[in-house]
Structure 1
């Protein structure tokens, strides 16, 4: 999310299955732990999976993590003038308990926040502007939108209260074999229906006005997911929950969480591309052969458990082929949405936003409505991942560092529209999030016995914490499946069970 969104949205929110094949039985009744576990992908999902696997399976198990690119995945930085800036996932919510625990365990620090005001631009003018006076902002919201923002807050809080149950379930060791089972345990059929129903419809039903949806909700969806308000309601709720205040990030860059977790898990990091996975059966034992290549080498190895923490949809081109599976297994349906993050060192063209004098432009970030002629989703003045005590945000009349989110690469004409002049331009094109609506079902977690898929959780909601929740669930699920502890998987009425356990 663009820096500066936090304060505006805080005001808006009142500050407040693929079938399992007939393989050999993978379970071990003798209590012997698995010998080797592979995790494919070293983003936040893969690194936190390695961390949780180590917690549950103990110190003797060999954990290998394969990563074809940079550790951190979609948590990444770029360097401008000897300072690093987030080009990927940049914001973490205060209720993200796994991420908070990671920072504590790793001895990392919270990055100091730098205040900045936000506005919404419709292509002609600023239709919503944050000021220095909270009561004035509140009055403006009420005058323009009535009590829509109160209804939104109530809706988000109800969903968040139910979602927070997952931490209790996981603390008591319960796991789920599918995303549907996980959501059903938290919010029943209501949560499942929210994965199939447009966000705009759900908000209209609770009394949020169409104007508020168009001018406030749509800009948030554009900056967070690069998509519109037709995305599923549950995805939208995750996005809106992450648009409140009490947001934070990691000093030095959020990707430090990933490298830190791999290290504390005592996992072996292989900078290699996994090219194929094939089941290998010997008597009653099922393993998986992973073949891989690196810049200097190629090879293969057998693993008792494999976790795929990388998207398997065709649009992402994972490079992995699945051999000798019965029934045959291939890439999953659905597509990932392409978002371009452009980091520009230059002078913002405030005239484009109706401010000929840049000294009178008070905003650190600008969101946009779903206006077809707008070629960008947001532009924001951003701060480095290391903020010194004397740091101050650059004023618009000064050369600053800006992050622009757009659906396509910005051409020179578009860059000249947004910036009076610039020194450097660095762009990263991300397959950042699922293209919501491109698949009619939630991907499976258990692809085959002891072969797990983490990124299916993204089709319910995409965020760092969602990946961490999925990682904890897979570690628990893998542990219980290995030890035949079925009483800890897909249990109903968990809130009652937990109370009786206490």
Structure 2
């Protein structure tokens, strides 16, 4: 009897070994050509191989929120200006594409509370630490330890992805990095979390609120994980791409040999097929309507009420599109003379700061203002002294009127205004809403929902890699590579 059982088991293993793997997908559609869409296109090409055709639909411009504009014959970043040094995917992209990191030009920052400067950075590191201690005690040390712990756990994702592990939901991804604590950081506000570890209310009001306003235009009621990402960037170690951050997006699409279609996707629906399920992507292109069939569809554009709306029709069960509200941020690129007296410096020559952040004060008309460097920084480049006209990037909750511009600037040559639906509107408190799903249907994935956990170039790159791995592992039924528990211990054991 034992012999028969062993023989039967051997025959089953032989039959299983002879099963042919499913064929590769013929065509994949990616909706959106920002950093998420461009990165997922590259990662999909890496996973499935060059023989798979990838069509990328972009209704506006390649690069999305990584954008530039021209002032006085020079180009400047108008979108995301910098990238954190811990973003390993972006570092890899820059090397892969033969790009260079832009030369850093030092500058000093200050925080303004609507009435006066409450914190001023100096050129001396030890003096800056002393000032922080003098004003806020050890709150800044507790903050630093909290941010470093969060980032250390977040960095585990690169090791998981190097071994081709993927996660079917953002909650599972976060749980693999830091357990339930990391998931809870999407439900609890950054203010509540920091108060819980002994950070003073004054430090939160003066410093944390200013950093959060400068990054997201919102209050310290944003989720703790969003806040941790934002505060990690505020501690320095930031860089940018020489020639513009958007070069990463166009470079990845070119490297992937993707077919970029300048068209707006309006609907996605299932298509009856005797083989693998297909999806029909409907689009508008220069006033004409069309549709194409795909094996897989990746939605890498944020689905929000006032922006990219896609209808998902004829799905069973119906797809409930995760449409949320996004927060409006206004960027004004001003070429002019800063009014230094507004910040308490009657003589502009004595104004030493290249950026000013505003606390969450009802009296403040801006979130932040920054003296910009062009996207190409030559060896001999120097910042304009404060008494000369410079290019400033002003973030504000609404377009600045003439009176407000005259308040911030003595005079100006030009003002260019960009209104962004830039970030999720996180709400007035730690929200209990579930995070948007990644898997919308068997072969339809939503990448941009990760922004509700944390939004940054780094998170978009990580989410892109996760979606590419998830689609690949599910296509070839590699269940052992999806939603595995205790991965950190498992990888240590394997190594």
**Coarse TM-score class (shorter-chain normalised):** over 0.9
Equivalent residue number for residue 329 of structure 2: 339
Provide the C-alpha distance between the structure 1 equivalents of 2:21 and 2:478, rounded to a whole number of angstroms: 13
Equivalent residue number for residue 361 of structure 2: 371
**Structure 1 residue 380: deviation in Å?**
1.0
Equivalent residue number for residue 7 of structure 2: none
Q: How does 1:127-166 map to 2 (within 5 A)?
A: 127-166=118-157
Higher-Rg structure is 2
**Structure 1 residue 260: deviation in Å?**
0.2
Q: How does 1:30-179 map to 2 (within 5 A)?
A: 30-179=21-170
Equivalent residue number for residue 435 of structure 1: 425
**Structure 1 residue 315: deviation in Å?**
2.9
> Is the 1:224–1:239 contact (alpha carbons within 8 Å) kept by the matching residues of 2?
yes
Residues 1:492 and 2:482 aligned together? no
Give the secondary structure class of the aligned counterpart of 1:389.
coil
**Structure 1 residue 356: deviation in Å?**
1.2
Q: How does 1:7-406 map to 2 (within 5 A)?
A: 30-295=21-286, 297-316=288-307, 318-406=308-396
Cα 1:371–1:29, aligned 2, differ >3 Å: closer, same or farther?
A: farther
Which string of whole-angstrom CA distances, capped at 9 and with x for unpartnered residues, describes residues 83-106 of structure 1? 110010111111100000000000
> Is the 2:319–2:441 contact (alpha carbons within 8 Å) kept by the matching residues of 1?
no
Equivalent residue number for residue 19 of structure 1: none
Provide the C-alpha distance between the structure 2 equivalents of 1:305 and 1:29, rounded to a whole number of angstroms: 20
Q: Once superposed, what is the RMSD of the aligned Cα atoms?
A: 1.3
> Is the 1:38–1:65 contact (alpha carbons within 8 Å) kept by the matching residues of 2?
yes
Larger mean Cα displacement after TM superposition, 267-276 or 281-290: 281-290
Which string of whole-angstrom CA distances, capped at 9 and with x for unpartnered residues, describes residues 352-411 of structure 1? 111111111111110011101211101111100001112111111101000000011111
> Is the 2:171–2:435 contact (alpha carbons within 8 Å) kept by the matching residues of 1?
yes
> Is the 1:314–1:331 contact (alpha carbons within 8 Å) kept by the matching residues of 2?
no
Provide the C-alpha distance between the structure 1 equivalents of 2:99 and 2:128, rounded to a whole number of angstroms: 35
Q: TM-score, normalised by structure 1?
A: 0.93
Consecutive unaligned residues of structure 2, counting only runs of 5 or more, are: 1-18
Give the secondary structure class of the aligned counterpart of 1:288.
strand
**Structure 1 residue 319: deviation in Å?**
3.8
Cα 1:483–1:472, aligned 2, differ >3 Å: closer, same or farther?
A: same
Provide the C-alpha distance between the structure 2 equivalents of 1:413 and 1:278, rounded to a whole number of angstroms: 50
> Is the 2:117–2:343 contact (alpha carbons within 8 Å) kept by the matching residues of 1?
yes
Equivalent residue number for residue 474 of structure 1: 467
> Is the 1:29–1:484 contact (alpha carbons within 8 Å) kept by the matching residues of 2?
no
Give the secondary structure class of the aligned counterpart of 1:189.
helix
Provide the C-alpha distance between the structure 2 equivalents of 1:198 and 1:260, rounded to a whole number of angstroms: 37
Query: Across the two proteins, how many residue pairs are aligned to each other?
Result: 474
Provide the C-alpha distance between the structure 2 equivalents of 1:320 and 1:205, rounded to a whole number of angstroms: 41
Which string of whole-angstrom CA distances, capped at 9 and with x for unpartnered residues, describes residues 272-316 of structure 1? 111111111223531110111212643211000000000112132
Residues 1:458 and 2:451 aligned together? yes
Provide the C-alpha distance between the structure 1 equivalents of 2:383 and 2:21, rounded to a whole number of angstroms: 61
Provide the C-alpha distance between the structure 1 equivalents of 2:320 and 2:187, rounded to a whole number of angstroms: 24
> Looking at both structures, which has the greater relative contact order when contacts are Cα pairs under 8 Å and sequence separation is at least 6?
1
Larger mean Cα displacement after TM superposition, 109-118 or 295-304: 295-304
**Structure 1 residue 320: deviation in Å?**
2.0
Provide the C-alpha distance between the structure 1 equivalents of 2:117 and 2:318, rounded to a whole number of angstroms: 54
> Is the 1:197–1:233 contact (alpha carbons within 8 Å) kept by the matching residues of 2?
yes
Give the secondary structure class of the aligned counterpart of 1:85.
strand
Larger mean Cα displacement after TM superposition, 431-440 or 402-411: 431-440
Which string of whole-angstrom CA distances, capped at 9 and with x for unpartnered residues, describes residues 149-185 of structure 1? 1111111111111111000100001000000000000
Moved over 4 A (4+): none
Cα 1:499–1:299, aligned 2, differ >3 Å: closer, same or farther?
A: same
Which string of whole-angstrom CA distances, capped at 9 and with x for unpartnered residues, describes residues 180-223 of structure 1? 00000000000011110011111011111111111111100000
Provide the C-alpha distance between the structure 2 equivalents of 1:274 and 1:245, rounded to a whole number of angstroms: 38
> Is the 1:273–1:319 contact (alpha carbons within 8 Å) kept by the matching residues of 2?
no
Which string of whole-angstrom CA distances, capped at 9 and with x for unpartnered residues, describes residues 99-148 of structure 1? 00000000000101111111001111111001122222211111111011
**Structure 1 residue 500: deviation in Å?**
2.4
